Structure 1
């Protein structure tokens, strides 16, 4: 069954919400908010595919709400259509200049509303596919460094206290003696080897919010959300064991007859406010310890602070 697109309707008038809901509910999953503040919180939790936003509302008006959406990386790319009784050109220009994709004046005509939503959802799906291609590694199907940057991009100062208190773990993985593998077996087998290691890492990062990317060459990086040090070490050990159990011959390895990986990781609170580069540097130091300690092992530590 195809998953329905999620539309969020933001309007302080119950009659407008009921009318738009009746038009859209058969084709889309429809969410409702009656204020700008409520809409911002709901959007962060539900990740809508498109937002219908009233302009004139008590408290935070539609224009200010739109600014907040566009400032937040989590909602910046969500198409926004303004719905309003204001029919002046200046009002429309202001809405479009804030990043809205369309502007509908009330009373809203159902057929026009549905057609515009279909058009803008189609454009969003095309943009999403293009963005996905730009963030995917073609060899493994994993994300690439650009995806890692985007996943780490949310400013923690915009997060709630509960979100800032959440644990995050970063895992770096390196295939042991991979240059020797390529030299012995050739680059074709080397590519197959990289893909099979990627499969093991994917198996360890199946939760929706976990991310695994090909970091470069024979290196990989994983972000585990809501995962403290013991949990991250458990997952990393499972990855290491899964690679060993594939029993891929590697006569160029100095430590084993089979392919192996070395792993370094760090865990800390999201609210540490450390840039991604520092998380990666700390994880890389742990990876160095694994290599220096004999390879085919996991080394990790907890980052201090909150």
Structure 2
């Protein structure tokens, strides 16, 4: 009987994202507040009798408009994650990896990082390699700065390049309306635009997330939280895709407490008072502007192994 393990990992939004100047290594130091939200990527890992790593796309993937052109080769993060786990543990088994994609692609929500996190968890269980979460996170950090958070989930302050995580124990839920774009924005391209826009500015390296914003989030004080939500990448994303500003204004006109770009964009995250308020925002955006939306909440857990029949969840 073929053995399959299915793992699920969440996408994220950045409630706060400050970006420092470019470093000598080409990266940027950031101060971020990550929130894992209820939009998930699934990776099914099935044992093979050889040492090949093969990747496929599940037909239930909701964000892939042209499946035949979706990259499934060695540059896909699920392949890199499986390879990293094999090389680290010396367990050179083969695996078929089937991805169900629901997080907008190149949308600033860490969908690729969620794929990598789910792959690490699924293959670690499938192969019995026995790594704990801390070890998986260290492996994940080599693949991308957002991978450790996709493993951890919940909410966290991220410093360094975003991989130095300090968890926040949130007791209150926040509700959001996502407005995914019909296109993606390359993260390096958005960072490059930000650097050009700030070329003559005195940009400091961020050392902390605004304590007032953290306090408002911990207290569940949405009126205090809304004006403190911030993302330095917004100006760069708007420079590359000016229509995002129009959609942002539509979201706030529809009643969102605040609208901001998530990560490097172009997904917009609209803060709602609660689930019912989020539904009202969605109805107004749909009825008046024909804007496609998704309703999510956070925080949610990080990468987990699903029961054998996840459709029953």
Q: TM-score, normalised by structure 1?
A: 0.26
Q: Normalized per residue, which structure has more strand? A: 2
Hey, which of these two has a bigger chunk of helix by percent?
A: 1
Look at both structures and tell me which one has the larger radius of gyration over its CA atoms: 1
TM-score by length of 2: 0.26
